[in-house]
Amino acid sequence: MYKAVITVTLRPSILDPQGKAAQHALATLGFEAIARVRVGKFVEMWINEESADAAYIAATAACEKLLANPVMENFHVEVAKVSDAG
């Protein structure tokens, strides 16, 4: 079994109103040193495949078909072998 850790982020050219709101709120709380905030999604996925390559392909396909909007978002997939029990 493999675990895929997926990070989905808005493309740099896309405005991020949620990130802007978080940046403003942080500044209000005294975190003036934080210059920019971008908000994205974090997904963990456990995949029953025979190899890390096959698990990567499955996770990538899931991102392309459902988890990420290819017009607005980028995604990054990392795959690691995990025990079946965990």
What pLDDT is attached to residue 76? 98
Question: Domains in the chain and their CATH numbers?
Answer: 2-81 (3.30.1280.10)
Q: Would the pLDDT of 40 be above 80?
A: yes
Query: What mean pLDDT do residues 58-84 have?
Result: 96
Going from the C-alpha of 7 to that of each of 2, 12, 25, 28, 53, the distances in angstroms are 16, 14, 23, 28, 18
Record the pTM.
0.86
pLDDT digits (tens, 9 = 90+) for 5-32: 999 999 999 999 999 999 999 999 999 9
Cβ–Cβ under 8 Å, residues 41 and 30:
no
Worst-scoring range by mean pLDDT, 19-23, 70-74, 80-84?
A: 80-84
